[in-house]
Chain A
């Protein structure tokens, strides 16, 4: 069964600190992996998209890594800010011939950054 597991479920860090969020998946055939940021009460916003041939991608203070062999991805946030407080969702696409309906969503990690 295609699944995406994220850890931890929630995380509290102090402003200025770094953190790493994890995503493990069992999706086959794998096509790409996305990270989204969702502020409370808002829609998700894309941070990164990676295909199996990419092992790292950055977007400002956000850096995503992908290990297609172990089926693991991480999202590293550097020098956290209060505005980083949000849920971070890992989404994996299964390649079933082009249909965009084959997205498998993780349940998200809720990050709280405290002053």
Chain B
């Protein structure tokens, strides 16, 4: 069974803290994504990676960075968390064939206080 695992389901962090959200997939997929989901706004792409060490900015990259040192792992980093980054974060992966299924993790609920 395909699996995208996000390391933390619920986090509470303080303003200014550095936050790491980790995502691991076991399907040998080339593509990995980070989205955030807010009520009324739907899913918005933060960053995506199409290969190890490769990344592209999505629609809302400001305040975020990513790291992909290994094919199976894609990390989202909030350098200095702010309250407007309180959200649900979803990691996803897919193989390189265009039009294929994208698999999502269960989500990480981040609250910044």
Which residues of A approach B to under 8 Å, CB–CB? 31-32, 34, 36, 41-46, 49, 51, 89, 93, 95, 98-101, 103, 105-108
Contacts and interface: CB of A to CB of B under 8 A. Distances in A.
B104 A100 contact: no
B41 A107 contact: yes
B21 to A, nearest CB: 13
B22 interface: no
Given A31-B99, A32-B99, A105-B43, 4 more contacts: A46-B102, A93-B98, A100-B102, A101-B33
Contacts of A89: 42-43
A111 B88 CA distance: 20
Given A51-B99, A100-B50, A101-B58, A45 B45 contact: no
Interface string B54-67: 00101000000000
22 contacts: A34-B102, A36-B104, A43-B105, A43-B106, A44-B90, A46-B102, A46-B103, A49-B100, A89-B42, A93-B98, A95-B98, A98-B96, A100-B33, A100-B48, A100-B96, A101-B33, A101-B45, A101-B48, A101-B56, A103-B45, A105-B44, A107-B41
Nearest to B93: A100
B42 A107 contact: yes
> Chain B interface secondary structure, helix, strand, loop or mixed?
strand
Q: How large is the interface on B (under 10, 10 to 19, 20 to 34, 35 or more residues)?
A: 20 to 34
Contacts of A49: 99-101
Contact of A42 (B40, B42, B106): B106
Interface in B22-56: 31, 33, 40-45, 48, 50, 56
A100 B92 CA distance: 11
Nearest to A42: B106
B107 A43 contact: yes
Q: Which 4 A-B pairs have the closest CB atoms?
A: A43-B104, A107-B42, A105-B43, A101-B48
